[in-house]
Amino acid sequence: MNLTIYQVDAFTKEVFKGNPAAVCPLESWLPDETMQRIALENNLAETAFFVKTGDVYEIRWFTPLIEVNLCGHATLASAFVIFECLGETTTTIKLHSHRSGDLSVEKQGTRLILDFPSYGLNEIEIDARLVEAVGKRPLQTWETQGNMVFMLFEKESDIAGIAPEMSALAKIPFDEVIVTAKGDSADFVSRMFAPRIGIPEDPVTGAIHCSLIPFWAERLGKTELFARQISARGGEIFCELKSDRVKIGGNAVLYLKGEIYV
């Protein structure tokens, strides 16, 4: 069986920046084991698979180790493929995830706008093991949807200087560890580490903004925000809080198109 594969750099206008995601359009679903093996072989933070049924794109996302509930950058990459490579002529596409429900992506010029759910935060005590693994004590910590923990720091330079001990972080009982602070180069900045699920550091993570956007919107007193994820590759996220939904906007660029033989 031959499958077409695309690799797209998301949340950037430049190749070699943003977050690379693999995208595999399918006529029908492959066995879960096969999709997981493809994701492992790709060795990217996420590989997205989608099947079009009527006017809805059913979508799933896999890290090298597990299937995840929601992925922003691979959804952005999938929408880019649908619009720019597969010839979709509408300006808005509907997607559905069996784990995260109904989603959509709107094309506004060169920018793609994800419509995702908004998730709240539940404050928790600061865990000494987490502090030791990250190497710096936060001001506060919260847990949120998808077994994620958020750590709030004072300033952007705190986030830039974090160098976690990945082996220790992999033993922490959270799949994703997010560090964030009010920004100098943006309204807010963040980084995300997930060695427990096969992603040491994710370059740009759309899905964590389902919680970051409402958090910073309330804290900064505005509903439209500009964010940066300040990993080595870096990425730009255009954010908006709209009731119980968030708008997560960004650009994308095609890196490669090829074939998989399975």
| 46 is an active site residue | yes
- Average pLDDT (150-166) is 97
Do 184 and 200 share a domain, yes or no? yes
The pLDDT confidence band at residue 123, using thresholds 50, 70 and 90, is very high
pLDDT above 90: residue 146: no
| pLDDT (mean) for 82-89 | 96
130 and 106 in a common domain: no
Q: Tell me which residue range forms the domain holding 256.
A: 2-116+248-261
- Taking the C-alpha atoms of residue 194 and residue 171, their distance in angstroms, rounded to an integer, is 11
Of the residues 14, 46, 123, 156, which is catalytic?
Answer: 46
What integer pLDDT is reported at residue 227 of this predicted model?
Answer: 98
Token pair of 168 as six digits: 């220790």
For residue 209, what is the domain's CATH number? 3.10.310.10
Residue 100: is its pLDDT beyond 90?
Answer: yes
95 and 186 housed in the same domain: no
pLDDT recorded at residue 236: 97
**Whether residues 9 and 110 fall in one domain:** yes
Share of the chain above pLDDT 70, in %: 100
Both 67 and 128 in a single domain? no
pLDDT of residue 41: 97
Write the DSSP string, 53-82: ETTEEEEEEE-SS-EES--HHHHHHHHHII
Question: 15 with 251: CB under 8 angstroms?
Answer: no
Do residue 66 and residue 165 come from a single domain?
no
Helix/strand/coil for 188: strand
Q: Could you tell me if 125 and 105 lie in one domain?
A: no
| 225 & 201 share domain | yes
C-alpha 110/C-alpha 12 separation (Å) is 11
Same domain (yes/no): 79, 146: no
Question: How many domains are contained in the chain?
Answer: 2
109-115-120-121 Cα dihedral, nearest 10 degrees: -50
Are residues 96 and 178 both part of a single domain? no
Same domain, yes or no, for 133 and 235? yes
Residues 72 and 185 in one domain: no
Residue 168's Cβ-count burial label (10 Å; 0-12, 13-18, 19+) is middle
For the stretch 44-72, pLDDT in tens is 999 999 999 999 999 999 999 999 999 99
Token pair in block for residue 211:
């919680």
Instruction: Flag the least confident range among 17-21, 184-188, 194-198, 228-232.
Output: 194-198
